[in-house]
Amino acid sequence: MTDVKTGINPLFLREEELRQGIELLFFAYRDFTAEPDAILAEYGFGRAHHRVIYFVGRNPGMTVSDLLGILRITKQSLSRVLGQLVDEGFITQRPGARDRRQRLLELTEKGTEMERLLTERQRARIARAYREAGAEAVEGFRKVMLGLIDEGDRPRFPVRPPGRR
């Protein structure tokens, strides 16, 4: 049970290592969301608004279904948040060219500005962490993070432009 060479229980090390991973995820996510959350609160928005703005900005012309698939929430939950963003002029909807049942989503200028305001902090945080850790560490980070995501849901980078809708 105890390694003869190191005098350390390897199972304990493994357990400790995995718990460290759990905690890193918790703390990183906590701090990663705290800054945008504070800005959002000033606008009467919440984290859900940020997520919608982010992904619509990232995938202009995406459908509501696409967004539901990414966020993994119900359409009723999304509709409240999306409705607010449309009403307040952050997002526009237009019918799909091939399938007119679809409402293709896009950021307005105002939405783009808000996206920048919110995401800028997160980009800065990541840039700092990447810079401090170095290119090799970043590669490792990416590998592990991709492995944490359910197979089949792993995003492909770089994101390709949206196809004809």
Kindly tell me the sign of the dihedral angle through the C-alpha atoms of 33, 149, 144, 115: negative
| CB of 110 vs a copy of itself, minimal distance in Å | 20
Candidates 4, 22, 98, 151: give the one binding DNA (CB under 7 A).
98
The first and second tokens of residue 162, run together, are 């949206």
Whether the bond into 155 is cis, omega within 30 of 0: no
Candidates 5, 30, 101, 160: give the one binding a copy of itself (CB under 8 A).
30
Candidates 33, 39, 58, 64: give the one binding DNA (CB under 7 A).
64
Which residues 6+ apart lie within 8 Å of 46 measured at CB?
37, 40, 81
Residue 103 interacting entry, from a copy of itself, DNA, none, C-beta within 5 to 8 Å by type: DNA
Candidates 9, 29, 41, 69: give the one binding a copy of itself (CB under 8 A).
29
142 binds DNA (CB under 7 A): no
Please state the length of the chain.
165
Interface residue list for a copy of itself (CB under 8 A):
14-32, 34, 51, 54, 58, 72, 119, 122-123, 125-130, 132-134, 136-150, 153-155, 157-159
